[in-house]
Structures are given as C-alpha cells and as structure tokens.
Amino acid sequence: MTNSNKEKVVLVGAGPGDIGLLTLNGKHWLQKADVVLYDHLVNPDMIRFTQKSTEIIYVGKKEGVASMAQEKINSLLISKAREGKTVVRLKGGDPFVFGRGGEEIQAVQAAGIAFIIVPGVTSVTGVAAYAGIPLTHRDLSSTFSVITGSNEKNQGDIHIDWEKIAARAGTLVFLMGARKLPLIVEKLMSFGKSPDTPIAVVQWGTTARQKTWIGTLGTIVEISAKDKILPPALTIIGEVVNLKPVVEWYEHLPLFGKTVVVTRKGDQAESMIDRLRELGAEPFFFPVIETIAPDDWSPLDNALNNLSQYHGLIFTSVNGVRFFAERLKTIDQDIRELKGLRVFTIGPKTAEAVRDLGIRVDVVPENFVAESLISSIGKENIEGKQFLLPRAAVAREILPEQLREMGAIVDVVSAYQTVLPAPQVDELSKRLEAGSIDVITFTSSSTVKNFLALAGDKLLPAIQKVKIACIGPVTKNTAQEAGLNVEIVPEQYTVSSLLDSIEAFFQPNS
C-alpha cells in the first residue's frame, strides 16, 4: 500500500475524558506521531504525550456546529500521510461507536494509505462506571442497548424505531442526547415505557466536571429544568440506576470537582498529575519551565575535569543532578571521579536522584531550602575549602554568598538554563474567566514568575481569585510579592506534602 514505513494513519480512541483511560497503545502512537488531528471531546492534556515537533491540528465538532467538514478531515488525513508522516487521528471515546471512525478509515483505505486502529474506552462503559451505575446486573438487567440521541440532519426528531426501543428489556443508553432529553423521555413513555423507570443523566463523565441528575422518566425533565444540561452527556435508563448510591465512588473522592493547575515542567509533573487524579481532581497541565543546555558548557566541563580540587559538591535540584551526570558522561568521565567528595543536596527528591546514580549523599538538611543547607554545612569547618555548585544559569544567590562569608570557596557553574515554554494560554484564560480553576500550584519562585509572565497582566485579576498553593516559604513570598493570596503551604517542603495540604484544605476532617 505504501513505500514509507512512517506513512500511515492511526485511528486512536482517546476515551471519554479522564486521561488515565487512554490506552497504552494510544499513548504509544501519540509519542510517535508526526501529526495529530484531534476532536472537541478529546482531553487536550493528552497532547503532552506528543513530541515537540508534532503538528497539532484541532478538527473538533460540537453538537450542531462543525469547525471542519468531515470531507476536509478525510482529505487532511490522506494529504498529511502522503507527506510520509505518521498521522494520528485522535477521537473521543471509541472511534467505532458513533464516532465516524469507519467513514474515515474507508476514505484512507480508498486512498491506498496504510492504517492502524487503536480502540478506546467508550463513554458508554467509562461514564457509567465513573457514575457508579453498572450497565448490567444479574438481578436487574442482562442486556443493554446503545442508541444515538443525536441526528444532525433533522433537529426535530431522532430517526429511530421508538416502539421497538421502548419495548426493549434491560438498560438503555443514549449518547449525545443532552438537548433531546425531553423528546427522549416523552417518546419512550408514549410507546409504553413506565414513567417510574429510573433514569440518570451524566454530564462531563469521567472528569472533575462530572455531574449527575437522577430521577424517573416522569420526573427527570422537571428535576433537571433548573440546570441547562449541555453536551457531552450520557443518559442511562433502567433499574440499574437504583444501584448508584451503593456503587458510586468517583464523586466521593476527596478532590472531586476541583481543577488544579500544575506548573511543573513536563518530565517532573507526571507523579504530581497521577496523584491529583487519584484524589479525584482534574489536573490542568500548564508547564511554565523548560530546561535546556547552558549557552556555554566550558565552565562546567572545566570543573568536571578538575573534580579532585573540590571538598564538596552541592546539588539544589533534580535538574542539576541530571545535567551534571549527562555532561560527565559526555566528556568521557564517570562517577569514580567523585571519590572523596562530600555530597550535599537540598530536598529528598534531589537526594534520591543522586543516590540513583550510585552516589552516597552526605548531608540532606531537615528543611528543604538553601538556608537549612547553609546551617547544616556551617556545622563543619569549611574555611578555605572549595565547593562546586552546578545549577541553573539564573538562581538565588543566598547559598553561594553565605558560604563565601563563612570562608568557603564556591564555584557556581551553569549546568542548565530555564526558558519559557509555550503552554495552552488560551485554554487557561478561558478556564480562569469561567471560574473553573480551583487551585494553582507553584513549586518554586521561578514557576510563579514564569506563570505570571505567560498569563499576562490581563489575567491577574482572575488569578487573584484562585486559591494558591506554594511548596514552601520562599515560593510563598514570591507569590505574595506578586499580589497573590497564598492559602496553602505544607509544613514539609515537598510535592507530596503540598498535595496532602491541598487535600486537607478541602477535606479538613478527613
């Protein structure tokens, strides 16, 4: 079909919303993609799994509003693949369940383009599970039917056989029927479905914005009247709905319904994002720092080639450890050169990164800030002794300055530099202005400064209304100096303690 190993279209189901429901195979292809075409209901946070060079194209369609015609999407898939690229078509839920995946693959196949299909967790099962409603149950329902609640060609009715649908036993699941809810319940009752039949409508299922309305066919329209139920919504009809009070779990998680902005850089954010998801929060990934090589390696190289002259080696961050180790290897040196050096670190994660290299850490201060390390080192006689501090090109000067005042010789060399990335400022702006951001987390002073620089002055009033969580007092002071109201600071200055403090803030009696 093709002469290129890369020339292919990969149809990937993104799941119903929770990024954790993306399959491993789906993530694998996102990491390999040259081009990604994604839909409106795809969690945009999945884009972080792509390469920096990946071309990202939004082709989403809201109910009744198309930003790009289906024929144009088909043409894009084919034209991008013919450029010799791996093209991922990322679709919400499962692409073969009312997702037009079949149509797109037909077009790709007719064009002679190779294709791969990666199924996704459909909203039918995913949303029901997160709502705590089993679709089948031995005592209540041995079948379930999946029905479209949308019909783009006719806005008045839905072209299905209502008489046969109403007569079906078991559970009925309507997709894409938010705006047609009054019609759906009216049609089912008019064709014989009991008005007492339980019904649940789940909006934004599997996300922190999930909301569920419970009632019967006879009452649900009135119950939901005060709220405007908008897409995406899933409607479940049948006796299994009565199991929700027993089975529901997601909506009881301690941070359910909270959206938390994560400002850490990409490769350091995963564990924080995973923990937030476990707590029921929606992590909003907004990296404000990107680490790159310094402009000039020669100061670090010179120090690495003369490690024997140093008494101590000081690491203040995981990044410093990583770039130091990589450069040591690049210039054909290894950790044996560190023999005899005392190693000092700030913070348990930094110490862990050093130990992972097979190097013993001599001193980790009680409090994970520069001042505490200075106090620890000050217990030793360091006058006239030489220390190497590989760190970011721009950083706090308190550590080297105070060590020098104590008589030490400190060589500060750039192991890396931080730059501003290009995160989703438009999406952040939209969420802030809508009031749907609950907490912004900062793990260093630079994350505060960079976040505000990226957000701009226009968003500052909205940011000042959001709860601010800072990893420690130095970061807190930076945020307060910028006019932010910091409400959450952990007693221990670690990411884990920061998340514990956020949980305790919203669940004080847990």
Known catalytic residues are 39, 61, 176
Instruction: Give the tokens for residue 323.
Output: 């770039």
Whole-angstrom distance, CA of residue 144 vs CA of residue 384: 78
Based on DSSP, count helices (H) and strands (E) in the chain, helices before strands: 19, 22
Residue 414 · residue 296 · CB < 8 Å:
yes
The DSSP output letter for 192 is T
Query: Nearest Cα to 300, choosing from 321, 324, 320, 316?
Result: 324
Whole-angstrom distance, CA of residue 20 vs CA of residue 35: 22
Instruction: Please classify residue 284 by burial: count the beta carbons closer than 10 Å to its beta carbon, then call 0-12 exposed, 13-18 middle and 19+ buried.
Output: buried
Whole-angstrom distance, CA of residue 61 vs CA of residue 70: 9
C-alpha triplet 38, 43, 45: angle, nearest 5°: 100
Q: How far apart are the first and last CA of the chain?
A: 59
C-alpha triplet 448, 451, 453: angle, nearest 5°: 105
Whole-angstrom distance, CA of residue 295 vs CA of residue 416: 8
- Helix, strand, coil percentages in the chain from 3-state DSSP, rounded to 5: 40, 20, 40
Residue 14 · residue 120 · CB < 8 Å:
yes
Peptide bond just before 232 cis, omega within 30 deg: yes
Query: Nearest Cα to 231, choosing from 185, 160, 175, 151?
Result: 175
Amino acid occupying residue 260: V
Instruction: Please classify residue 281 by burial: count the beta carbons closer than 10 Å to its beta carbon, then call 0-12 exposed, 13-18 middle and 19+ buried.
Output: buried
Whole-angstrom distance, CA of residue 303 vs CA of residue 317: 18
